[in-house]
Amino acid sequence: MIQVPSATADPERRHSAEGPAFEKDAALAVVGDQAMDIDPAVEKRVLRKIDMFFMPAMLIGYGFVYWDKAILGSATLFGMTTDLQLLVMDHTTTPPSKDTSRLSWATSLFYFGMLAGLYPMTFILQRFKIQHIFAPIVMLWAITCFVESVVPTGFMTIVSGYYTQKEQAMRQAWWFSGTGWFTIIGGALNYAFGQIESGSLRRWQYIYIFAGALTFLFGLWCAAMPDSPVSAWFLTPEERVVAVERLRKGQTGVRCQKIKWDQIKESFLDIKLYLVAIMMAAAYTINGAISGFGPLIVSTFGFDTLDSILFQFPVGGICLIFIPLCGYIASRIPNTRIPMLITCCLPVIAGCIIIWKSEWGYKPAAPVVGYALTGFFGPVVSLIITLGASNVAGATKKTIMAASVFVAYTVGNIIGPQLVNSKTVGQHYPELWKGMIICYCITIAAAAALYVVLWRENRRRDQLELDESERDKLAFLDLTDKQNPFFRYVL
């Protein structure tokens, strides 16, 4: 029989159990090391309450995260590029051409700030109480992008701390579907602001002011966010016990505020982290180009300024439908995340080929269809987030994974706008679409490699002879997925 870690075998762990509360998994405040029977009816009620508190607000919150970058694409059509001199004429070419390199860097600039903030802000979120960090951070987000880095990583860790592995796919999909909702809602608002004919401000300035005001209001909700299921004020004491106990089977833990250096080291030696990061960086490259240049690209199809904004709706519609659909399937059918991810990559590749190779006459249908198909990047990225969040355990390791996923996100968004070369618009931006096709082939290859890694490790663990009496005791010891032989990876 294989020896498994014990709650009393490690002197350091014994010391931690007696030390400050932040060094232990928060679950131990309400449950012990033995599993308890829970009433299924109470569990359903608890899950419903958690969903009602978090999911609508997180969907709106991530919608703001997406919208404040997507605004740039519409603002370019409302005079921002001229007002801020982001688009200049290049007279060295014959005939003179528009140079959009400044706009490319303006699109990428936000992500440099986010890249710098991801690891420090995510560690701060782990170390201190969530409501004490999230509320002021979100309010500051209205004026700077460095602090916004805590929002998506925070959402990943919140879901992993409140939901079982089976439930996480659907819940990660719900909040990430804010991408689709706010592609449509944000597009409609941008269209409405585009109707303004008078006023002391430019049309694009009204859009940014409105988005900032809504974001600030979202920050007020964050002040009410509980630190973990243990302190969830909207649950009764009995329900808090159930909210924690139901997570024992997945062996992922709830929340631990101590930053553990051994888990940091393990994270950066784990091939899973790099495969997930490669997928995220490659898959999200298209967003950097579409969010900053989407309406501008559509306008080259012969559509006017306002119509170009409306053509963002099909992209948002695909995200809105297929992100939750893939999450639902993943929550119902085991080990379908990676197969669905690979499948959803194919329409994106097809869309890029259609845009690149079709005729761009006056208001053509083919490139518009191809452009809509690129919306399948949404379910691809949502599934990557789910794979990253569901396949690690240990509070610090979950923090590292969440931060690394969105570091890769920023890298993809920085690269994407640089692939748009305004001088090759006559050839349909070949650098952009070739780059996207290559990126999604890389995503498929990395996903296939991750599937093999996870499948082989699960098979190895299934062949071990383990002392089943230790399973319940290990659930809340803040062990990593590698340290805990009872942990199983989801594919």
pLDDT tens-digit series, residues 31-78: 766 777 888 999 999 999 999 999 998 999 888 888 877 777 677 767
pLDDT at 10: 46
pLDDT at 93: 65
pLDDT at 173: 93
Cis-peptide into 364, omega within 30 deg: no
pLDDT at 8: 47
Distance CA 13, CA 6 (A): 9
Q: Give the tokens for residue 46.
A: 């608890």
Q: Quick check: helix, strand or coil at residue 97? A: strand
DSSP state of 466: B
Distance CA 3, CA 119 (A): 35
**Of 246, 234, 258, whose CA–CA distance to 25 is shortest?**
258
Question: Burial letters for 261-270: b for 16+ Cβ neighbours within 10 Å, e otherwise?
Answer: eebbebbeeb
Question: Burial letters for 306-333: b for 16+ Cβ neighbours within 10 Å, e otherwise?
Answer: eebbbbbbbbbebbbebbbebbebbbee
pLDDT at 13: 43
Counts for the chain of helices (H) and strands (E), in that order = 21, 2
Which residue is it, tokens 């944000």? 186
Q: pLDDT 10s per residue in the chain (491 long)?
A: 455 555 544 434 444 444 445 566 666 666 766 777 888 999 999 999 999 999 998 999 888 888 877 777 677 767 777 777 776 666 666 666 666 677 777 767 767 777 777 777 777 777 777 666 766 766 665 555 555 556 788 888 888 888 988 898 999 999 999 988 988 888 888 788 878 877 788 888 888 888 888 888 888 888 888 878 888 899 998 998 898 888 887 666 667 778 889 999 999 999 999 999 999 999 999 987 776 677 777 777 777 767 777 778 888 899 999 999 999 999 999 999 999 999 999 999 999 999 888 877 777 788 889 989 999 999 999 999 999 988 998 888 988 998 899 889 889 988 888 888 777 777 778 888 999 999 999 999 999 999 999 999 999 999 988 777 777 777 777 888 998 888 899 99
pLDDT at 2: 52
pLDDT at 12: 42
The reply to whether CATH 1.20.1250.20 applies to domain 33-474 is yes
pLDDT at 469: 72
Which residue is it, tokens 């004919």? 197
Backbone angles phi, psi at 438, to 5 degrees: -60, -45
